[in-house]
Chains A and B, each alone.
Chain A
Amino acid sequence: MAIIELRDIDKIYKMGNIEVRALNRVSLDISEHDFLCIMGASGSGKSTLMNIIGCLDRPSAGSYHLGGKDVSGLADEQLAAVRNKQIGFVFQTFNLLPRISARKNVELPLIYSGYSAKERRRMADIALDRVELSDRAGHKPNELSGGQRQRVAIARALVNSPSIIFADEPTGNLDSRTGLNIMALFQKLHEEGATIVMVTHEMDIALHGKRIIHLRDGQIHGDEAVKKPANAAAAIRNLADLNKQDLEEAMSLHSNVHKSQESVE
């Protein structure tokens, strides 16, 4: 059953007098319990697509049904409720609030769903436990490593038990090994039943999913199933078994990825 149904979605940005067509009649079905990766070069419209599916932005034209409900015509307040209850976001730059602790960051969506402080804390602790970060709950984001920050962000996405998790280049700001850990976490969540939509421009990251669509110039150019998804957890185990020389070799397999600097929030 399709949890997401997009029909003829257009997105047009106006920049002065010039109109930029970021999405051009995109139609897409995403079924429940899918692990979809959206690939494409920068400027292909993949982030725009994800922002629209994630209800962060509105399409210029076309219809969008989320869980059988038409959300393209919803008012701002209702869209906020959809983002709050049905959608979890993970961003490339983590987007944690720097002032407050990891736990408080995870609690953030719950504030807007009206849970009591006690209930929020309990739920946040469960979510942090799922990303194996219970021991860092009291730390502020700047006291955590990049991978830990992304785990906090994932816990925040999970905390309200959303029907879909969206991840926009979640490994883009992490080194390849940490990235692999994050992918292992996503795969674990997927096995536990989560529906995941991930934007990436790296094929070896995308290969961890079950399905890949390619976007070019705002249109879908290819939609393929991954026959045998890469197993991130197994890759990490293999890495751990290798000696140093082999480790470097193994790392290089993953390191067509540039080692990006962790951005400081």
Chain B
Amino acid sequence: MKITEGLRESISVMGGNKIRAVLTILGINFGVGCLIAISVIGLAFRDSVGSEVGRYGSTLLWVQVDGNSYLKGESRILMDGRDIKFFKQALPGLQSSGTLFSETYTAAYMGESKEAQVLGVGPGHFEMFDSKIEKGRTFIEQDISLRKRVCVIRPDIAARLFKDEDPLGKVIRLSERNYTVIGVTERANNMLLSDGSDNNTIFIPDSLVGAKIWGGNFVKYWIYLFKFDSIENVEIAEERINSYLEKKYGLLRDLPRFRVQRLDSFVGMIDRILNIITTLVTVIAAISIVVGGLGIMNIMLVAVTERTREIGIRMAVGATKTDIVVQFIIEAIVLCLIGGATGVFFGAVLAAVVCSILEWKFMLSFVIVAGALGISTFIGLVFGIYPAWKASRLMPVEALRSDA
């Protein structure tokens, strides 16, 4: 029997029993959908991480107090201005650096007010986090060193406080003090790596926040960020910072007090987490596909019993055992392929929705689709063989005698 005949037969059989066909393919459908979704989302995620790392050049490094080393309630040692000064001198290839202080204040302008996150940052901050300025300018060295009361604001807070007015040069009130707006940034994208700001954030020079938090001129830092020109210099910096801090502050119960983290190793960690998630989903999908395959086998066994007389008729007019086997295997494969194809569709739709929400690039490769359909065909083959063999084993007379 030709494959085309088998296909035509299968479709006519399924057309006669649509609900059964739909219920039968659900398992395969779900499994394949999961596989497609996770592989597309995984790919898109890696792509987005890759492009962000590309943006930062993966040469970002930060040093922060390692909270894990301290007992609860134990007071922590922070870095001070001298440490930063040392770093700036001792680290080759340093392009920019800065720190982050975060507080929440009420921002007010002409009777409008809004709770806002206030972030104290250095002059290199906007470059480091690739935040573009839409209007005005960013901080310059004098703003920081002279502790000028200036601020850069995000577009949402600008719109909230200033409506249609031009915010540049206007004065907003933050925590009993006035700050002049010198710049408005572009909208913040939903990035994997961010400074923790959103579209309601107000940036002020870190010296001001530091002084506010530490109550004097002597600013301390719990986190400090560096950006370098090359990955070699990142490695040098990691080593030098570690040995400097260990020599100066010593170990705490044999544990370092500070932790140096590199963006590239951070990405590797995210990758490992993603791998674990991918493995889990793949296992669930595999189980679902196998259970779906068993469902197909079950329904094929029922079909063989129901259609014993048909098998007898076909044998009486000249169908060989091979013809019967081929017919039932094709039927099982067609069921699985329909399940697989609809699974590809639903999985791709799910992935497209997730990607569009997270602003990731949606990529559905031919290899993934072909793989999913290949798996479906394989499952149909594996779970179709036994029922098909059972069907072909009948003698024509016995099959014709059946009442079914």
Contact = CB atoms under 8 A, between A and B. Distances in A.
Interface string A47-62: 0000100101100000
B313 A95 contact: yes
Contact of B320 (A80, A91, A108): A80
Contact of A81 (B312, B318, B395, B400): B318
B16 interface: yes
A214 interface: no
B12 A80 contact: no
A209 interface: no
A77 B400 contact: no
B1 interface: yes
Nearest to B327: A111
Nearest to B396: A56
From A77, A81, A84, name the one whose CB has the most chain B CB atoms within 10 angstroms: A84
Interface in A160-203: 160
Given A51-B397, A56-B400, A57-B395, A108 B16 contact: no
Contacts of B395: 56-57
Given A57-B397, A91-B400, A111-B5, A97 B320 contact: no
A51 B397 CA distance: 7
A56 B313 CA distance: 10
Interface string B11-39: 01100100000000000000000000000
Contacts, number: 67
Contact of B2 (A83, A89, A100, A114): A114
B314 interface: yes
Nearest to A77: B320
A85 interface: yes
B317 A84 contact: yes
B400 A109 contact: no
A103 interface: no
B: contact size bracket: 20 to 34
Contacts of B400: 56, 91, 95
Contacts of B397: 51, 56-57
B310 interface: yes
B88 interface: no
Interface in B304-322: 309-310, 312-322
Interface in B373-404: 395-397, 400
Contact of A99 (B16, B316, B318): B16
A109 B1 CA distance: 11
A85 B313 contact: no
B309 A95 contact: yes
Interface string B315-345: 1111111110000000000000000000000
A89 B322 contact: no
B394 to A, nearest CB: 11
Interface string A79-118: 0110111000101000111011000000011011110000
Contacts of A111: 1-2, 5
A85 B320 contact: no
B15 to A, nearest CB: 9
A249 interface: no
A76 B320 contact: yes
Contacts of A114: 2
A108 B314 contact: yes
A151 interface: no
Contacts of A85: 318
Nearest to A95: B313
B315 A83 contact: yes
A25 B321 CA distance: 30
22 contacts: A51-B397, A54-B316, A56-B400, A77-B321, A80-B315, A80-B318, A83-B396, A84-B317, A91-B400, A95-B309, A95-B312, A95-B313, A95-B316, A95-B400, A97-B313, A99-B16, A108-B313, A109-B318, A111-B5, A112-B317, A112-B323, A113-B318
Interface of B: 1-2, 5, 12-13, 16, 309-310, 312-323, 395-397, 400
Given A56-B316, A111-B2, 19 more contacts: A51-B397, A56-B397, A56-B400, A57-B396, A76-B320, A76-B321, A77-B321, A80-B319, A80-B320, A81-B318, A81-B320, A83-B315, A83-B316, A84-B318, A99-B12, A108-B317, A112-B1, A114-B2, A156-B317
